[in-house]
């Protein structure tokens, strides 16, 4: 999602526009790399905070590396505005989709269980049925789920992508060619159901027993201001309660190793208020009843965290995940890729 006026925030609640101005003066915007056949590093290590313990523990997570990704160009596509993330176990690749309608193939480099680098392998535009790259409201890719990514066979992975602007879920090849549009439940199928087109389908996940589920980032038109619908594609829905932080919005969902789902939320009001990023464990009831939600970790700029507009979440292995931020295409923000594990 494009937050428009949002800029990056710094430690202790420093407005990001002030921090970014200093950073731009001291560290020029990264040089743009042209297309290349060989993969190349696009990452610079960053420290998100001095708050965690020496081993990276903070609340219910352990941080295992954070990188700033350069806004490089490959085959005419810029690595920017990343909003969906998914891990392909068979290919050992991390796929990322962007608000500009592109899919990037990334190769994370792990050493001693920590994220130390990322290489860009490929970039492709997402295309429509006419073969042309998606454009305008049709290109705003948000959520990402993979199919056949862990069946032991290479070369057969497909992408399922949820979109804002024109709300839908579509299947693509890994190089961006369209395969099929999936049917949405009536409550989510029309753009008029949403408060605005930029608040449409944000999250997409494969629930271990319920199958594909999707959700908007904000309540639908006419819904309670603190809940968003979390729906299967067959139309079964639950009311997901957003966190208490002002401006909370649901940005991503993933499977949780202990059952249920892991939710990613962003709370943003203005440049002069804290930005809060939360990870929450979601358990859906078997029958009628409320959704159970427990906050696992909360990263608050007013409490010493240097965070950004995190929108993408990908399960890796065991209890480990990747998380990526959307820089909104602004030189005053950064694309951050974070590797972490959930503590038992």
DSSP letters for 106-174: EEEEEETTEEEEEEEEEEEE-B-TTSSBP-GGGG-EEEEEEESTTSS-TT--EEEEEETTTTEEEEEET
Q: Which of 335, 133, 340 lies closest to 254 in space, CA to CA? A: 340
Distance from first CA to last CA of the chain, Å, rounded? 32
Q: Which of 334, 312, 332, 330 lies closest to 321 in space, CA to CA? A: 312
pLDDT number for residue 19: 38
What gap in Å lies between CA 29 and CA 39, rounded to an integer? 21
pLDDT number for residue 3: 60
Give pTM, 2 decimals: 0.89
What gap in Å lies between CA 130 and CA 154, rounded to an integer? 28
pLDDT number for residue 196: 83
Domains within the chain, CATH numbers bracketed: 11-28+62-342 (2.115.10)
pLDDT number for residue 18: 35
pLDDT number for residue 190: 85
pLDDT number for residue 312: 98
Q: Which tokens hold the place of 188?
A: 């989510």
Residues 6+ apart with CB under 8 A from 273: 246, 247
Mean pLDDT for each consecutive 10-residue tract of the chain (344 residues)? 46 37 36 54 95 90 98 97 98 98 98 98 98 96 98 98 96 99 92 86 95 96 89 95 94 96 94 90 89 97 93 98 95 94 97
């Amino acid at each position: 999602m494009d937050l428009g006026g949002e800029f990056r925030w710094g430690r202790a609640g420093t407005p990001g526009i002030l921090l970014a101005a200093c950073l731009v003066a001291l560290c020029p915007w990264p040089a743009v790399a042209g297309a290349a056949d060989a993969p190349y590093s696009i990452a610079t290590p960053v420290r998100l905070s001095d708050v965690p313990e020496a081993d990276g523990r903070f609340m219910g997570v352990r941080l295992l590396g954070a990188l700033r990704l350069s806004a490089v160009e490959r085959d005419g596509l810029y690595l920017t505005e990343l909003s969906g993330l998914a891990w392909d176990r068979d290919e050992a690749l991390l796929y990322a989709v962007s608000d500009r309608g592109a899919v990037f193939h990334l190769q994370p480099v792990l050493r001693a269980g920590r994220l130390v680098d990322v290489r860009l392998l490929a970039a492709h535009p997402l295309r429509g049925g006419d073969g042309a790259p998606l454009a305008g409201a049709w290109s705003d890719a948000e959520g990402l789920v993979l199919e056949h990514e862990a069946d032991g066979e290479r070369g057969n992975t497909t992408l399922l992508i949820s979109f804002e602007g024109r709300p839908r879920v579509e299947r693509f090849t890994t190089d961006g060619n369209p395969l099929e549009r999936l049917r949405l439940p009536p409550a989510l199928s029309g753009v008029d159901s949403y408060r605005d087109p930029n608040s449409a389908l944000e999250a997409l996940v494969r629930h271990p027993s319920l199958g594909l589920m999707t959700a908007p980032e904000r309540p639908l038109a006419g819904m309670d201001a603190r809940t968003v619908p979390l729906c299967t594609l067959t139309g079964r829905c639950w009311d997901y309660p957003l966190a208490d932080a002002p401006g909370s919005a649901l940005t991503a969902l993933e499977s949780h190793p202990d059952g249920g789902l892991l939710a990613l939320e962003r709370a943003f009001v203005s440049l002069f208020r804290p930005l809060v990023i939360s990870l929450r464990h979601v358990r859906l009831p078997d029958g009628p009843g409320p959704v159970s939600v427990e906050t696992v970790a909360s990263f608050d700029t007013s409490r010493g965290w240097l965070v950004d507009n995190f929108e993408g979440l990908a399960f890796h292995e065991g209890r480990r995940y990747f998380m990526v931020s959307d820089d909104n295409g602004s030189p005053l923000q950064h694309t951050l890729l974070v590797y972490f594990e959930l503590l038992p």
